Structure 1
Amino acid sequence: MTETKPGVPNSETDPDVAAELEGVPADMIDSPDKTLEADLARVSEELETARQDILYAKAETHNVRRRLEKDIADARTYAATAFARDVLSVADNIARALEAIPAELRADDKFKNLVAGLEATGREIEKVFASHGITRIAAKGLPLDPHQHQAMIEMPSDEAEPGTVLQELQAGYMIKDRLLRAAMVAVAKKPD
C-alpha cells in the first residue's frame, strides 16, 4: 500500500479520486510536474495562435474599413458621371448650333438675342462642369494619347508629325482624374 500524506486524497482509499483518475495514464499520475509543464506549453502555444489570429483579424478589418472608405469617397466624387455624360450631348448640341449660325446672321438684330442666349447657355454649362471637376481634354496639335483620344480618321499631312491630332471631331472630357468621354479626333499620317 502506498503511503499518503495527511489531507491529500488517495486513489486507493477514496473512490471519488479513483473515478477521476480512471483513464489517466500512469506516468501522468506519477509525475504531475511534467504534466503541468506539458499543459502549460500547450496552453502557451494556443494563446500565441489565438493572438496571431486576432492580429490577422484586426488587420483584415482595417483593410476592409479602408476599402469601404475609398469606395464611399469614389461614389461621392464620381456619382454624377452618368448624368454628366448625358449633359455632354446637350453641350455638344449647343456648340453645334452656335457653329451653324453664319456670321451675317449673327450681326442681324433679329438673331443677336438668340446667339447671345446660346452663348450664355454654353458658358453656364461650362461653369457647372468646372464646379463639378469636369474639364475638357486638350487635343488639337498634341500627340495622340490613346487614354484620352479616340482616332476616328487618319489624314495625310506634310505639316504635322504622324500621330499628331489635326482636328477635333468631338470634344473629350475628364471628371476629376477619370475619363468621362474620349475626344474623337483626326490624326496626321505621312502623305502617300
Structure 2
Amino acid sequence: MMVSESKKIPVEFPEASPAPQPGATADGPEAIADRAEAAPAPAVPPSPAEPEATPAGETALREQLARLKAERDDLFQTLIRRQADFENYRKRIERERSEDAERVAARIVTDLLPVLDAVERALASLPRDGEGPGFEYRRGFELIQQQLQHVLERYQVARIPAVGLPFDPHVHQAIERVETDQHPEGTVLEELQAGYTLRDRVLRPSIVRVAALPPAATETEIQ
C-alpha cells in the first residue's frame, strides 16, 4: 500500500519594518523643514542705548580735567623744587669737603714750615762750594729742602715773592724801615722769614725790611 505524498502549503509572513536609526524621527525631511519654518525666531536682546551727552556732564568733565591739570602742574613744580634743593645740597657738601681738606692741609703745612725754615738757615751758614764736612752737610740739607718743597707743591703751597717788590700789607709784614735813596719808597729790601700761601689763602706773611727815603730826600721831593 503506498502512502500519498503530503502537499506543501506556502505560508506568507508580513515583512518587518526596519528599525529606526538612533536620533532619527519618524517624520521625513519635509516634515522637519516645515516645523523649522513654523518655529518662532529666538528673541534678540536689545542693545543698551548710548548715554547722550548733557551740558551738566560736559561741565563735570571739564572741571575734572582742570583739576587733574592743576595737580600735574603742582607735582611738576614740586619736582623742580626738589631737584634744586638736591643740587644746592650737593654743592654745599662739596664746598664743605673742600674747606675741610684745605684746613687739614693748612695745619700740616704750618707744622712743616718751621722745619723748612731751619733747613734754610742751616744752608745759609754752610759753604756753597769747596770741600770738607761743611760742604758735605750742605748737600744733605739741600736734599731735605727739595723733599720738603715737593711736599708743599703737592699741597699747592707757594712761596710769597718779596725782595725787590713793593710792600704789600696783605702778604708782607714789615718789622723795620731802612732809610735809603737807592730804592723807591716802600720797596722790600730784605726777607727775614719767607711767607707762604695755600691756594689763595695766606698761611704766613713774609717778614721783611722796607726801604724808606731819608728826611733830606723827602724834603727835596716835597719842594
Please report the TM-score for the alignment, with normalisation by the length of structure 1: 0.66
Q: Which of these residues, 83, 93, 98, is aligned with residue 68 of structure 1?
A: 93
Paired with 2:178 and 2:67, the residues of 1 have a C-alpha distance of: 78
Fraction of identical pairs, as percent:
33
Q: Which of these residues, 93, 118, 135, is aligned with residue 112 of structure 1?
A: 135
**Residue 89 (1) aligns with residue 114 (2):** yes
Structure 2 residue matching 1:167: 3-state secondary structure: strand
Structure 2 residue matching 1:80: 3-state secondary structure: helix
In structure 1, the partner of 2:183 is 160
* Counterpart residue type for residue 147 of structure 2: E
In structure 2, the partner of 1:172 is 195
Deviation at 1:86, TM superposition (A): 0.6
Paired with 2:208 and 2:173, the residues of 1 have a C-alpha distance of: 6
Which of the two has higher C-alpha Rg? 2
**Residue 144 (1) aligns with residue 145 (2):** no
Deviation at 1:158, TM superposition (A): 1.6
Unaligned runs of 5+ in 1: 1-5, 8-29
Paired with 1:87 and 1:77, the residues of 2 have a C-alpha distance of: 15
Deviation at 1:93, TM superposition (A): 1.3
C-alpha offsets along residues 117-167 of structure 1, whole Å, 9 cap, x if unaligned? 333322332233234432211111112233322333333332222232222
In structure 2, the partner of 1:126 is 149
C-alpha offsets along residues 58-77 of structure 1, whole Å, 9 cap, x if unaligned? 12212322343344455556
- Say if 1:162 and 1:189, in contact at 8 Å, map to a contact too: yes
Deviation at 1:83, TM superposition (A): 0.8
* Counterpart residue type for residue 166 of structure 1: L
- Say if 1:85 and 1:180, in contact at 8 Å, map to a contact too: yes
In structure 1, the partner of 2:70 is 45
* Counterpart residue type for residue 73 of structure 2: E
The structure richer in helix per residue is 1
Paired with 2:117 and 2:177, the residues of 1 have a C-alpha distance of: 23
Structure 2 residue matching 1:57: 3-state secondary structure: helix
Structure 1 residue matching 2:192: 3-state secondary structure: strand
Paired with 2:68 and 2:213, the residues of 1 have a C-alpha distance of: 78
Residues 35 and 191 (structure 1), Cα distance of their counterparts in 2 relative to 1, 3 Å cut: farther
Please report the TM-score for the alignment, with normalisation by the length of structure 2: 0.59
In structure 2, the partner of 1:181 is 204
Equivalent residue pairs, number: 163
Structure 2 residue matching 1:179: 3-state secondary structure: strand
Q: CA RMSD in A?
A: 3.2
Greater RCO, CA 8 A, separation 6+: 1
Deviation at 1:107, TM superposition (A): 5.7
Residues 183 and 43 (structure 1), Cα distance of their counterparts in 2 relative to 1, 3 Å cut: same
**Residue 55 (1) aligns with residue 97 (2):** no
Structure 2 residue matching 1:52: 3-state secondary structure: helix
C-alpha offsets along residues 86-114 of structure 1, whole Å, 9 cap, x if unaligned? 1001111121233345x5xx867343333
